[in-house]
A = this chain, B = another copy of it.
Amino acid sequence: MADIKSPANPLFLREDELRQGIEMLFFAYRDFTAKADQTLAQFGFGRAHHRVIYFVGRNPGMTVSELLGILHITKQSLSRVLGQLVRQGFITQKPGSTDRRQRLLSLTEKGSELERKLTEEQRALIARAYRSAGADAVDGFRKVLLGMIEEGDRRRFRPSLPR
């Protein structure tokens, strides 16, 4: 009885379930980035700078090509923000030892400091969500996200060695 709106229509439910997923992703991402954006603005930086700082921090000594492969933007776009970060002393470049064409990227102490500050905010937000959702939910969260990620990038998150 009751339940006028969904009378044995699994298709409708499924459709709505997916739409909710789309929306939640939008809202979560919106709020996920909001705080760090404020902090960045204080430094005259934007979200693009954050991404560069974050990934260089995670992969010290990475090449420009590798970074481009992660960000999926053009080298001209990257060049703008990376140049600023290098000139202002947040990131250093040094030639690769085997291939001297490469410019291996690392954070300076100043860069690390900013990275920590920025990521801490996001970590806190995620930590809160993880804690209130519980360990099983976190497993599910990761499983679903993994399935949304382009095949080639999934290996980054599997228990094997990341590089």
User: Contact flags (1/0) for A116-147 with B, using CB distance below 8 Å?
Assistant: 00010011011111101110111111111111
Contacts of A147 in B (CB 8 A): 128-130, 132-133
CB distance from A107 to the nearest CB of B (A): 15
Contacts of A140 in B (CB 8 A): 133-134, 136-141, 143-144
Given A19-B58, A23-B156; A148-B125 close (CB under 8 Å) = yes
Indicate if A113 sits at the interface (CB-CB under 8 A). Answer: no
How many residues on the A side are at the interface (Cβ–Cβ under 8 A)?
53
B29 lies within 8 A of A25 (CB): yes
CB distance from A118 to the nearest CB of B (A): 10
Indicate if A10 sits at the interface (CB-CB under 8 A). Answer: no
CB-contact partner of A157 in B15, B20, B123, B136, under 8 A: B20
Indicate if A22 sits at the interface (CB-CB under 8 A). Answer: yes
Indicate if A26 sits at the interface (CB-CB under 8 A). Answer: yes
Contacts of A51 in B (CB 8 A): 26
Given A32-B148, A147-B128, A148-B126; A22-B142 close (CB under 8 Å) = no
Indicate if A31 sits at the interface (CB-CB under 8 A). Answer: yes
CB distance from A15 to the nearest CB of B (A): 8
B157 lies within 8 A of A126 (CB): no
A4 CA to B89 CA in the complex, in Å? Answer: 34
Indicate if A68 sits at the interface (CB-CB under 8 A). Answer: no
Indicate if A87 sits at the interface (CB-CB under 8 A). Answer: no
Q: A residues near B, CB below 8 A?
A: 14-15, 17-32, 34, 51, 54, 58, 72, 119, 122-123, 125-130, 132-134, 136-150, 153, 156-157
